[in-house]
Chains A and B, each alone.
Chain A
Amino acid sequence: MRLVLERRAERSTTIAIASPLIAIALTLVTMTLLFALLGKSPVAALWVYFIDPLTDAYSLQEIAVKATPLVMIALGLSLCYLANVWNIGAEGQFLIGAVAGSWLAVRTNGTDAGHWVLPAMLVLGALGGALYALIPAICKVRFGASEILTSLMLVYVADLFLDYLVRGPWRDPKGYNFPTTPDFDPVATVPVLIEGSRLHAGALIALVLVAGAVILLGRTIKGFEIKVVGSAPKAARFAGFNADQLTILTFLISGALAGLAGIIEVAGPVGNLRPNISPGYGFTAIIVAFLGRLHPLGILIAGLFLALTFIGGEQAQISMRIPLDLTKVFQGILLFYVLACDSLVLYRIRLMPTHHRAGYGTG
């Protein structure tokens, strides 16, 4: 007997909705085994990971804080992936956005600049991310260089550039030699929503962007073009859609969103520019995009879920001494299951007798 794939006549809508849930369930089973393997009580560990953070107000706010950059980046990435454009350098665009916006915060630091500073920083951040994303887009469109490799290489370059700035020209002279810029002025800081908490206005921006993406994909011609170019390139050519132009457009949008997420992160929860401002948001956002089935509302839910794993992972490290790397393992396994379950939307698996041509099998 052997297993073969058989293409379904139509996409299965039931499985399309159920597949992320099945994937999460399978991941939890795998995690249970992993916890047991590490010699930890699976029930207690899963509780700390997934239930504890939901029970107190502080953790709930932290989930929203962590989900904000994830959702913003993943929205942009989903446009790329829908158009079959493989931007995997969102982490770099996030960092460059943070750098570009921070430039203004550093320049105006200690002056009596007014409330125009923060909006200008956000614009600069989005612009920086978009321009950085333009590099792989142009390399792809003009020269045919694989955008996968160029965008990924630029992550390392961005990381080193940020490192250079905060250790060199932008370092706070009063910062005890720590590699950070001075703390941003109040006018250069994203305001918090609730006094005394870390939940900031960036979360609202993320929600607005989700709504914007719903409209772009569901109600506009450009959104339609993006989907057609990705799913039916031949039909797109017949219709006269310009694939190169869409490559550049999706890269620009996703770069801008990643850059905006970057500047909001440093001007919000972090408070100044320093190395390690991202625990890999740009890469985790790839998982968010796929777990959300490349749909804006799905991405919102998936972003909250993966933010939960970040918070749960931190708490599990503190209270149960579970290594933080387990969160990455968890995220990787989750992406595998999501992709595998997605395959079942298009195909069904059938058990076939090995000698099916001989005619004595049961089919």
Chain B
Amino acid sequence: MGLAEAIILAVVTASTPLLLAAAGELVVERAGVLNLGVEGMMIMGAACGFAGAYLTGSTLIGALCGIAAGMALSAIFALLTLGLAVNQVATGLALTILGIGLSGLIGAGFVGEKIVPAPQLHLPLLSNLPFAGRILFAQDAFVYLSLALIAAMWWFIYRTRWGLVLRAVGDNHASAHALGYPVLTIRTCAVLFGGACAGLGGAYLPLAYTPFFIPGMTAGRGWIALALVVFASWLPGRLVWGAYLFGAVSILQLHAQGAGLGIPSQLMSALPYLATIMVLVVISRARGSARSAAPASLGMVFVPDR
């Protein structure tokens, strides 16, 4: 396996958790809800996913545990922001603080343990093709799942009636309510879906990326996923490019550190974060004063009148 091939494989693996978490958040934000707790849901997904896989020996059960953990946290978020009309930004922060603490508590017993990483699915014949074979046809199941998820999301958002309703709820909750759509129910479903995706994205880290659990192993990926949604202008297709771009930055900086170019390793480690800021500035500036691409009701509290 050549170096270029190895790098591309690593990029795909580094991008997948970002893509999964960002995909969920995109649906949440399309419904008009800003859940800043992605980092907390991801790290809980990582801790519970590892615990599940370690105790049962099954990657699948680990992934399901991660999903359940993410959904459980997002249910708290939904209860507060949708049920009690609490400020979404503050609640999201609380969710992250709680998630980091709880994951440390749950994961403490598993630090230092190892599991068998998720197997790569080799498609017969195709995966033996030179170069492209290994990259396209020998990834783990999560990679294919994440891409299928994006395709399904695109179809749902743009080609189904309920996708249209979801966008309506996100763009103008008052009108959607007046038309008789259950705004809060739709938003709750979206938030739970986002929690499931963030939990799965987090679980991917110990299940496939590194086969062990370290406290705080998400290292800000949840926040980068939030930035990716802005980068993608809330369009599912663009999310894929964004996630892979960020995966590439984080892998290339690792290789640059290994090559020893005389640049301080801390500066290289800071690159993904600096790149995020840069991208946010460029994207926000390009959009300028023209109508923003963000869902119009994003982050606003909605209390239905009776």
Contacts and interface: CB of A to CB of B under 8 A. Distances in A.
A149 B276 contact: yes
Nearest to A289: B90
Contact of B86 (A146, A148, A340): A340
Given A148-B36, A153-B220, A343-B84, A336 B273 contact: no
Nearest to A339: B86
Interface of B: 36, 76, 80, 83-87, 89-91, 93-95, 97-102, 104-105, 108, 215, 219-220, 223, 226-227, 230, 264, 266-267, 269-270, 273-274, 276-277, 280-281, 283-285, 287-288, 292, 303-304, 306
Given A144-B287, A336-B80, A325 B223 contact: no
7 contacts: A86-B89, A153-B273, A153-B276, A160-B267, A164-B267, A328-B101, A339-B80
A342 interface: yes
A76 to B, nearest CB: 16
A110 interface: no
Main secondary structure of the interface of A (DSSP, over half): helix
Contacts of B100: 328, 332
Chain A CB count within 10 A is highest, among B100, B108, B230, B280, for B280
Given A149-B276, A150-B277, A335-B97, A343 B86 contact: yes
A241 interface: no
Interface string A348-361: 01001000100000
A51 interface: no
Q: Number of contact residues on A: which range applies? A: 35 or more
Contacts of A342: 86
A145 B284 contact: yes
B145 to A, nearest CB: 27
Contacts of A323: 104-105, 108
Given A335-B93, A335-B94, A339-B87, A329 B80 contact: no
B89 to A, nearest CB: 6
Interface string A144-182: 111011101110110011011001100000000000000
A144 B94 CA distance: 25
Given A139-B277, A150-B277, A343-B86, A332 B101 contact: yes
Contacts of B105: 323, 325-326, 329
Nearest to A344: B84
A313 B70 CA distance: 26
A145 B231 CA distance: 11
Chain A CB count within 10 A is highest, among B94, B105, B267, for B94
Interface of A: 3-5, 7, 86, 88, 135, 139, 142-146, 148-150, 152-154, 156-157, 160-161, 163-164, 167-168, 283, 286-287, 290, 323-333, 335-336, 339-340, 342-343, 346-347, 349, 352, 356
A5 B105 CA distance: 35
B215 to A, nearest CB: 8
A5 B81 CA distance: 12
A332 B281 contact: no
Nearest to B103: A325
Given A3-B83, A157-B270, A149 B230 contact: yes
A148 B99 CA distance: 18
Given A332-B97, A343-B84, 9 more contacts: A5-B84, A5-B85, A143-B285, A148-B89, A149-B223, A150-B281, A328-B98, A330-B101, A349-B84
A339 B230 CA distance: 26
Main secondary structure of the interface of B (DSSP, over half): helix
A127 B101 CA distance: 32
A290 B101 contact: no
A149 B94 CA distance: 16
A266 B167 CA distance: 50
Contact of B97 (A144, A161, A324, A331): A331
B284 A143 contact: yes
B270 A290 contact: no
Contact of A283 (B91, B97, B277, B288): B97
B101 A327 contact: yes
A347 B287 CA distance: 37
A168 B280 CA distance: 31
Contacts of A149: 223, 226-227, 230, 276-277, 280
Nearest to A88: B93
A45 B97 CA distance: 22
Contact of A335 (B90, B102, B304): B90
Given A139-B280, A145-B281, A340 B90 contact: no
A339 B90 contact: yes
B80 A4 contact: no
